[in-house]
Chains A and B, each alone.
Chain A
Amino acid sequence: MNLNDLQLDALREMSNIGSGNAATALASMLGQSVDLHVPTALALELADAVDAVGNGEDTVSAVIIGVFGDLDATVLLLFEPESASTLCSLLGVEGDPEMELSALGEIGNILGSSYVQAMGTMTSLHMEPYPPVAVSDMLGAIVASVLAVTAADTDLALLLDSRMTVDGTACKFGFLFVPGGAGVALLLDRLGLGEAA
């Protein structure tokens, strides 16, 4: 399946609304404003997908949230170690790696649920998040393992990438939405762009 520019634009716009909702939720949790960068929608060959996200061997903290319902997808949050610590310290968690991962999982839960909720409302699709799983490991191993689940039917990886910064801090992180093969077609259909595929 190939996606044209119009379809990618529509998916990016959808992602923008979802991540806007998520950023608002995070801001009210932290009591601090959160900047949302212009999201990107990337349709990539599977082999190129990890490099598009970052350096595969870098250690990152990640929160993975599976999404089920009308659509199978994964929400993936990626934090560089310093950003993870900064974000946790804003929540009063410092120095304990286990506690930090647990706090990141909570943040991921809020971000992921609000993103999925906005997307579900927009597309009239029923989507539910699984509980979050937080890990610290190589970026490549995390991203590839998420993509593997959706790779059975397609060599195309669709990444909807939003980046956020917590105002007044060096805390930046990536927020990826990875729909499964059938999910992409379903989303496009709901956005009124299914025919052009």
Chain B
Amino acid sequence: MSELVVRMGEIAATQHAGDVLVGLGLGSCIGLVIVDDRGPVAAMAHVVLPESNGNGAAGKFADTAIPQLIREVTAIGATRSRLSAVLVGGAQMFAAAGKLDVGNRNEQAVREGLRAHGIPVRAAVTGGNSGRTMRVYLERRSITCKQAGLEEIEIATWGSQVQMARAA
């Protein structure tokens, strides 16, 4: 099993069953994952801010990360019409610190962007005041979320046998 840690502003995509995509310590940032509803294909962006001003890595901003994620998952075998998204993060880490509330703006921008691209949100664990770690296990097609001092909990699965059987 190899963990692919997606750091601030980065994007990673994989179709290897042994891989785990990891967004460590997401505070106001958003771990945005796009999966193919039927297959073991997933990509994660570590979104830092809502809007790009024309410079910086694509994964850093909600508006540039979404099209880039779509390009990367479809390039490794995902089907555009079967994509769905899971998001974790967007917390307000420092209540009352005023302008530091980027988390909420990030979530709005990510949700609007997904809507504009016609990608449904499968699950979301967002808001609040706590940091979270997100893991995407390709092998069991499971997505988890963990807060400091708490257990890792499963928040979404995709591409289950049931769904595949129905589709067939």
Contact = CB atoms under 8 A, between A and B. Distances in A.
Contact of A144 (B29, B53, B55, B148): B29
Given A47-B8, A47-B9, A138-B148, A130 B98 contact: yes
A17 B49 CA distance: 33
B27 A137 contact: yes
A57 B25 contact: yes
Contacts, number: 122
Interface residues of B, number: 35
The range of chain A's interface size is: 20 to 34
Nearest to A146: B100
Contacts of B25: 50, 56-57, 138-144
A176 interface: no
B100 A137 contact: no
Given A46-B60, A50-B25, A138 B7 contact: no
Contacts of A133: 94-97
Contacts of A185: none
B95 A148 contact: no
Interface of B: 7-10, 24-29, 48-49, 53, 55-57, 60, 91, 93-100, 102-103, 129-133, 148-149
